[in-house]
Amino acid sequence: MGTKYKEFHRQSIDNPEAFWGEQAKLIHWNKPFTKVLDYSNPPFTKWFVGGETNLCYNAVDRHLSERGNQKALIYVSTEKEEEKIYTFDELHAEVNRFAGVLKSLGVEKGDRVLIYMPMIPEAIFAMLATVRIGAIHSVVFGGFASHSLATRIDDAQPKIMVTADAGMRGGKAVPYKHLVDDAIRLSGHPPKHVLIVNRGLDKEMSITAGRDLDYAQLRAKHMNASVPVVWLESNDPSYILYTSGTTGKPKGVQRDTGGYAVSLTASMKHIYCGNPGEAYFSTSDIGWVVGHSYIVYGPLLQGMATVVYEGLPIRPDAGIWWKIVQDHKVSVMFSAPTAIRVLKKQDPAYLKKYDLSSLRHLFLAGEPLDETTAQWIEEELGVPIYDHFWQTETGWAVLTAAPGVEKTPTKFGSPSFPAYGYNLKLLHEATGEEVPANEKGVVAVVPPLPPGCLSTVWGQDDRFVQTYFTSFKGKLIYSTFDWGIRDEDGYYFILGRTDDVINVAGHRLGTREIEEAISSHASIAEVAVVGVADQLKGQMPMAFAVVKDASKIATAETRKALEKEVMGVVDKELGAIARPARVHFINQLPKTRSGKVLRRSIQAIAEGRDPGDLTTLDDPVGLEMVKKAVEEARRA
């Protein structure tokens, strides 16, 4: 850690009130806060108590006088072959129209609006319009299928859902509204209305009269809408974002308003070094936390233009991202290691084809960044690459370099140091004591968590405490559920999850959810899903299933057919993103004597490693079967 950054970090921990009080000046407050930090009810943390602000005001209205005619949103679709630019003035007008429509449908402060949308400008208008009027958005990733969507509808109980007829992927239409219909049928809490942005992509879209409404028609009635901002107390919720954990039921990560606005604006200055008037390109999707923080709010709060890209990284060719960087003079880019590994397989000439002189930094997060990939992209791009570690829960980086404070050297494979605001520790899993340098420990944060982190789990305060703050006996400490190690220079390295959560192409999936989906197939008696190392995607789910009736898998053909069916169930319930790479059928799962499935050992065998301590194993037959299935698949 450089001396300047060390001091910056120290101040944030030793004197959080002074530190964050200073950062809070980066945003507009309609009413000043009376207290920077209230930690009287640990681990619940309140930032900027009594202060009134609004995310939409800070992201849009605040910039109008100085940069109303500058670019705010750059929409590039290689799917629809369309490009549209919105200035801050135009973005303001569209957000007001959307807010006018939401209000006309009865949406009020505190109501939930569930957004299930492809990467189109209306998705961002919907998010900004929701927070403008003090309502709470819950964006669900478009790749999640109807069952996942229904679970989220039931938990968030939205008054309104916003969707499109369809998205597009690889030039083909992918239905959205159709999945919304299925999800509402499965849900116990149907929304009052479904607002549809009809892109003319799904001619067979069905409409439920009274419930379903066409956005274009309603927008036309609100062309001149001027919807006043609803000022929120800093700790009022701004959004809910669901994330997978070790149970089958995703958790609704709840974010506040003021703390989030301050943390993101500060991060644009200290971490990303993005300046007003420049362009920021995050290749994520609005359905993920990176999309919330660094497609929508972060860049706009900073007065930057944000690129909203609908398309694949290699279509029409592997130069498309670099063309966007050139055409829109992108200065900061944010992506995920998997995407870079995909590009690495393509012709490197694409990286030389475009003028990338505007680009200053590339940040990568979401999954481990291997050294070879980091080195390759840094050499090809000729700009610094920053790996940084964070989670849906934290909303912004936990481990990162902060080049805006001090340009510290990076080490490939390391997301550098604890971000300012995080009192980060590496703790021994059993004793909860700090581990010395070069020893593996659990990455943990001593609360209070800094601004921007989750304030609770939506509607479940007890689950918030129970899930995140009970890993270390007798100590109220936040666990990231990641293993980490720190070298003698103070650089951290992330070594993977401590729980059954897996990471596929930078996206977190709970193996339990996939197991539940597979178990819903009539032929399956029992199943274990583990994450197996994959060269491109980091990890892939792999399933080991026991069938109820062995005749279903009597021949290679029936086995193959059942595997396909099981994969189909996962596609339908959760989405193709969760589809296992393979479903192996075995007669018995390896379990401990107390009946717990030995997932770690299964995973080790599937990756060709030593299964470890097997003293608690009930019967070795199950493990032998896993081994045999994996070996047979390898030979095939």
In the complex, the residues that contact ligand AMP under the rule CB under 6 A are 243, 289, 365-369, 387-392, 415, 480, 482, 494, 497, 503, 507-508
Distance in Å, CB of 501 to ligand AMP, minimum: 7
Closest CA to 289 of 395, 137, 149, 148: 395
Distance in Å, CB of 459 to ligand AMP, minimum: 20
For 177-228, give the secondary structure using H, E and C.
Answer: HHHHHHHHHHCCCCCCEEEEECCCCCCCCCCCCCCEEEHHHHHHCCCCCCCC
Distance in Å, CB of 402 to ligand AMP, minimum: 15
Q: Look at the block and give the residue holding tokens 């669900």.
A: 140
Distance in Å, CB of 538 to ligand AMP, minimum: 9
Distance in Å, CB of 37 to ligand AMP, minimum: 25
Between vectors from CA 440 to CA 483 and to CA 536, what angle results, nearest 5°?
45
Between 60 and 156, CB nearer to ligand AMP: 156
Furthest-apart CA atoms within the chain: distance in Å: 72
Helix (H, G, I), strand (E, B) or coil at 628: helix
Number of H helices, E strands in the chain: 21, 32
| Strand 507-510 relative to strand 524-534, pairing | unpaired
Between 289 and 540, CB nearer to ligand AMP: 289
Distance in Å, CB of 443 to ligand AMP, minimum: 8
Between 287 and 611, CB nearer to ligand AMP: 287
Single-letter amino acid, residue 287: G
Between 44 and 483, CB nearer to ligand AMP: 483
Distance in Å, CB of 336 to ligand AMP, minimum: 9
Measure the CA–CA gap between 146 and 185, rounded to whole angstroms: 9
Q: Look at the block and give the residue holding tokens 């032929």.
A: 523
The secondary structure of residue 347, as a DSSP letter, is -
Between 466 and 558, CB nearer to ligand AMP: 466
Between 54 and 479, CB nearer to ligand AMP: 479
Q: Which two tokens stand for residue 100?
A: 């006018």
Q: How many Cβ atoms sit within 10 Å of the Cβ of residue 592? A: 14
- Buried b or exposed e, range 248-283, using 16+ CB within 10 angstroms: bbbbbbbbbbbbbbbbbbbbbbbbbbbeeebbbbbb
Distance in Å, CB of 621 to ligand AMP, minimum: 33
Report whether 369 contacts 337 (CB < 8 A).
Answer: yes
Between 187 and 391, CB nearer to ligand AMP: 391
Q: Which two tokens stand for residue 361?
A: 């930094």
Single-letter amino acid, residue 491: Y
Between 234 and 480, CB nearer to ligand AMP: 480
Between 87 and 392, CB nearer to ligand AMP: 392
Taking each helix axis as running N to C, give the angle between helix 511-519 and helix 556-573, from 0 to 180 degrees, rounded to the nearest 10.
Answer: 120
Contacts of 433 (CB under 8 A, 6+ apart): 427
Distance in Å, CB of 176 to ligand AMP, minimum: 22
Distance in Å, CB of 244 to ligand AMP, minimum: 8
Based on its alpha-carbon atoms, the radius of gyration of the chain, rounded to whole angstroms, reads: 24
Between 133 and 427, CB nearer to ligand AMP: 427
CA distance to 78, 181, 367, 425, 480, per residue, from 13 (Å): 45, 48, 27, 13, 19
Between 422 and 585, CB nearer to ligand AMP: 422
Between 156 and 583, CB nearer to ligand AMP: 156
* Adjacent-strand bridge partners of 432: none
Distance in Å, CB of 242 to ligand AMP, minimum: 10
Between 100 and 291, CB nearer to ligand AMP: 291
Length of the chain measured in residues: 636
80-84: list long-range contacts, CB under 8 Å, 24+ apart: 80/168, 80/199, 80/310, 84/121
Distance in Å, CB of 485 to ligand AMP, minimum: 12
Q: Which two tokens stand for residue 12?
A: 């944030």
Q: Look at the block and give the residue holding tokens 């060709």.
A: 608
Distance in Å, CB of 127 to ligand AMP, minimum: 18
Report whether 146 contacts 183 (CB < 8 A).
Answer: yes
